[in-house]
């Protein structure tokens, strides 16, 4: 009975989502030359479903989604952005000529979507969709604005983000990953004399001229989305702080898209596919206790080596993380299953 009530609650919530948002849908005026079809019973993926679909849209695909009110009932802020995207169609019928068809059920002719992302027994026939920039950067077209990759940069380490203790202790509490939380990393930096923690834009600008490490807590002031990547591109290094329930966070992809070198804990670096490599496309530290020493070593690196590492970071982003390469890999490999991130839902599937 409880499950039935939950189903109907989500169904009618989805009906409400549809009624409120269908007016935003654009009309596909031309017969699409390439398309994908998606048929899902629910949306555990939340923002990562938006990112998955957005990558196809960016690559010129028309995306057909089966209209399912139960599925729409799981839409939060970011999936609702789909209603405002062009070349996206909610349909009652399968798109028979689609290049790829996706479903969360095992069906003949379909690629099955799942969220068991961190299973250690990874299958070669599966494709794991990588972390991406924040959805707002794609939606507002800030994700690929030109930044000066080879311009002279500040030889400093930078991070800006949320440090809410209630949220960012979760990765410790869940105990699935052997990584330090962002709160633990910041505690380490506070013990050094390297870091500045500006609380105003004026303090931030002053710190840029004199500090080796700059940490911005967005509780005090934020960096506008359109200014984020240009800001990141001013620094040589970026502190790869983990997310809420899993290490992956949008921030590291945003930094790498600008050629800003991630300073990252080893286990986190190993989660990338392929893994990031020390002094090749990342600066890797073993644990939180080693962070300060690693930062000191990073800022003493020869400028030629820093430039080479930055080029490798950009190449990694282009080859493995960019929308073009993700879609190209999906189309060419035609995997049996595709795994999307789903935050805590993915983490809960991990076996200790």
Question: pLDDT by residue (tens digit) across 173-186?
Answer: 888 999 999 999 99
Res. 289: pLDDT tops 90: yes
Residue 183's pLDDT is: 96
Of residues 82, 4, 100, the one with CA closest to residue 46: 82
- Which of the four pLDDT bands, split at 50, 70 and 90, describes residue 6? low
Res. 13: pLDDT tops 80: no
Mean pLDDT of 217-225: 93
pLDDT tens string 79-132: 999 999 999 999 988 888 899 999 999 999 999 999 999 988 888 889 999 999
Residue 150's pLDDT is: 84
Whole-number Cα distances in Å, 211 to 149, 155, 195, 206: 22, 9, 7, 9
Residue 22's pLDDT is: 63
CATH C-level class of 154-321: alpha beta
Q: Helix (H, G, I), strand (E, B), or coil: what is residue 171?
A: helix
- Which of the four pLDDT bands, split at 50, 70 and 90, describes residue 24? low
Of residues 268, 253, 264, 265, the one with CA closest to residue 316: 253
Res. 26: pLDDT tops 70: no
Res. 17: pLDDT tops 70: no
Q: Helix (H, G, I), strand (E, B), or coil: what is residue 57?
A: helix
Average pLDDT, the chain: 91
Residue 40's pLDDT is: 95
Mean pLDDT of 208-217: 93
- Which of the four pLDDT bands, split at 50, 70 and 90, describes residue 18? low
Q: Is the pTM of this model over 0.85?
A: yes
- Which of the four pLDDT bands, split at 50, 70 and 90, describes residue 192? confident
Res. 12: pLDDT tops 60: no
Counting other chains too, the contacts that 254-258 makes at CB distance below 8 Å and 24 or more residues apart are: 254/133, 254/134, 254/137, 254/228, 254/229, 256/313, 256/314, 256/316, 256/317, 256/321, 257/133, 257/143, 257/144, 257/229, 257/317, 257/321, 257/322, 258/147, 258/149, 258/229, 258/232, 258/233
Residue 123's pLDDT is: 80
| Residue of 334 and 309 predicted with greater confidence | 309
- Which of the four pLDDT bands, split at 50, 70 and 90, describes residue 10? low
Mean pLDDT of 127-156: 95
Res. 15: pLDDT tops 70: no
pLDDT tens string 34-48: 999 999 999 999 999
Q: For the chain, what are the domain ranges?
A: 2-131+324-348, 154-321
The C-alpha atoms of residue 277 and residue 56 are separated, in whole angstroms, by 29
Residue 8's pLDDT is: 54
Mean pLDDT of 213-217: 96
């Amino acid at each position: 009975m409880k499950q039935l009530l939950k189903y109907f609650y989500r169904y009618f919530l989805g009906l409400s989502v549809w009624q409120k948002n269908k007016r935003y849908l654009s009309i596909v005026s031309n017969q699409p030359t390439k398309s994908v079809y998606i048929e899902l019973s629910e949306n555990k993926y939340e923002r990562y479903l938006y990112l998955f679909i957005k990558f196809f849209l960016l690559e010129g695909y028309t995306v057909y989604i089966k209209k399912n009110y139960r599925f729409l009932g799981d839409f939060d802020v970011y999936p609702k952005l789909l209603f405002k995207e062009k070349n996206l169609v909610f349909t009652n019928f399968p798109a028979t000529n689609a290049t790829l068809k996706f479903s969360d059920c095992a069906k003949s002719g379909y690629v099955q979507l799942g969220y068991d992302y961190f299973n250690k027994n990874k299958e070669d026939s599966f494709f794991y969709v990588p972390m991406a920039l924040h959805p707002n950067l794609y939606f507002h077209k800030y994700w690929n604005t030109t930044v000066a990759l080879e311009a002279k940069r500040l030889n400093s380490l930078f991070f800006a983000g949320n440090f809410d203790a209630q949220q960012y202790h979760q990765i410790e509490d869940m105990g699935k990953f052997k990584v330090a939380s962002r709160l633990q990393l910041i505690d380490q930096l506070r013990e050094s004399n390297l870091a500045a923690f500006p609380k105003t834009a004026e303090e931030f600008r002053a710190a840029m001229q004199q500090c080796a490490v700059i940490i911005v807590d967005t509780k005090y002031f934020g960096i506008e989305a359109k200014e984020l990547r240009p800001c990141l591109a001013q620094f040589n290094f970026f502190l790869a702080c983990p997310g809420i329930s899993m290490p992956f966070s949008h921030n590291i992809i945003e930094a790498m898209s600008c050629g800003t070198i991630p300073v990252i804990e080893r286990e986190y670096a190993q989660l990338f596919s392929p893994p990031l490599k020390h002094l090749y496309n990342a600066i890797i530290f073993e644990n939180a206790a080693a962070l300060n020493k690693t930062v000191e070593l990073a800022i003493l690196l020869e400028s030629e080596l820093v430039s080479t590492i930055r080029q490798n970071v950009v190449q990694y982003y282009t080859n493995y993380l960019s929308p073009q390469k993700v879609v190209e890999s999906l189309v060419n490999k035609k995997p049996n299953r595709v795994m999307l991130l789903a935050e805590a839902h993915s983490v809960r599937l991990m076996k200790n």
